[in-house]
Structure 1
Amino acid sequence: MATDPKTTLKTYIDARREALISKVEGLSERDARLPRTPTGTNLLGIIKHVTGVEAVYLGDTFGRPFPHPEELIPDERFDIDPQADWYATEDETIEGIIDLYRRVIAHGDETVEALPLDAIGHVPHWGNEEVTLHQILVHLFADLAGHGGQADILREEADGAVGWRKPGDNVPPAYDWPAYVAKLTDLANKF
């Protein structure tokens, strides 16, 4: 196991990224973008959102903008629709958004590799607040973990798929979920 802090942070961030991407695997375009909450949260929108966030946090923040800004949402689009990064447009696809996300990740990884953890950056949408790479990596991990939790619930709601769907998953492979839910419902009904 790696012991240096940068490698440790990167390992956990990479795991969260892959878990998030896995939440749209095997879904149709419709199911990936279908709103699943009263505020319209959807699986593909979550990935589109983190794509833009990572482009800023590990790009612009450290003076290393993503080399293809035309592929990201232009700032003026947020003036028209402040939720523009939370859904896929008609001309975007799961494959296209995942491809863009992976390229943003690769660019961000170059930033992480090139800079020490105490490198100073300025987050544009935080009023150019001064931060270190270390702070941004911790913030990014927390952000990805939160969005991963959203995605876990949305994917389960979409088709019942739970966990990371890979070996070592922490979800029991064969479990009587209806009986489990009935047990929990009975417990809740006692109050």
Structure 2
Amino acid sequence: MIVLHSSPSSPFGRKVLLAASVLGLDAILLVEPTDTNEPDDRFLKQNPLGKIPVLITEDGQAIFDSRVILEYLDHRAGGGRIIPVDAGRFDVLRMQAMADGMADAALLMVYEKRFRPEDMRYEPWLKRQQEKVDRTLAVLEAAPPRLGSTLDAGAIALACSLGYLDLRFEGAWRTTHPRLVAWLDDFSARLPAFERTKP
């Protein structure tokens, strides 16, 4: 078994779970819930950054972050399945970076409100993160990515980022992005694990 340190609400941990499902590796993946607010010493030795997700291989190797974990899972499943080896590789990696960046900005907004006292919150910082999310949504609404015969790492990352916006921001993005809503509905219908991993 390989062990995944994660949290149900993490869009990056969910990304790993969906990738494992697409690749047929979910049966050998054991999820270990991990609280990064109170990490234990063993976890910090596995990832000194104290961030999730972290994948622990059978021989004890710690692999992080989610993009590296997806590379590892794809390699383990034979390669070229969710991350192409041809010229399409960079389109997939670019989409994954864009989706992950949107999730990062959303996480920073959540953390600003969760961990900083209200009178110390910096509104220009929150506005800057919201603008990153808004710009990314606008680009993707104008041209939603095509879902290929196999769901790739870019599509998986985007679905998880949109799912995180649903979780933490009450799906406010849906009212102004109908093409992305349809895209996510199509993704969800094609990969039942998306609904199963909903936090």
TM over 0.5: no
> What's the TM-score once normalised by structure 2's chain length?
0.29
> What's the TM-score once normalised by structure 1's chain length?
0.30
